[in-house]
Amino acid sequence: MDWLVSEPGCTLFLHYSGHGGQVEDVDSNRSTGLDDSLVPVDFEYNGQLSSTLLHQHLVTRMAPGCTLFVLMDCCHSGSAIELPYVYRSDADGQISMMDNLRKGAQLVGEAQDLIQGGLNFNKMGEARELFAGATSFFHGLKHIGEQEEEGLQDGA
* In the predicted structure, residue 153 carries a pLDDT above the cut 60: no
Q: In the prediction, which pLDDT does 79 show?
A: 64
Task: Flag whether pLDDT at 128 surpasses 90.
Answer: no
Q: Per the domain annotation, does 2 fall within a domain?
A: no
Per-residue pLDDT averaged across 145-154, rounded? 44
Let me know if residue 3 belongs to a domain: no
* Helix/strand/coil for 137: helix
Number of domains comprising the chain: 1
User: For the residues 113-120, what does the mean pLDDT come to?
Assistant: 73
Helices (runs of H) and strands (runs of E) counted in the chain = 4, 5
Flag whether 6 is in a domain: no
H or E element in which residue 38 lies: strand 34-39
- 1 assigned to some structural domain: no
pTM: 0.53
Element (H, E) at 16: strand 11-17
Q: Which residues are identified as catalytic?
A: 19, 75
Q: Is residue 113 part of a domain?
A: yes
* pLDDT at position 87: 53
- Is it the case that residue 149 has pLDDT exceeding 50? no
Asked if residue 4 is part of any domain, the answer here is: no
Give residue 44's pLDDT.
94
Q: Tell me which residue range forms the domain holding 131.
A: 11-155
Q: What percent of the chain has pLDDT over 70?
A: 66
Which of 97, 100, 105 has its CA nearest to residue 83? Answer: 100
Give 154: exposed, middle or buried? Use CB within 10 Å, 0-12, 13-18, 19+: exposed
For residue 61, the tally of other CB atoms under 10 A from its CB is 13
**Does 132 or 143 have the greater pLDDT score?**
132
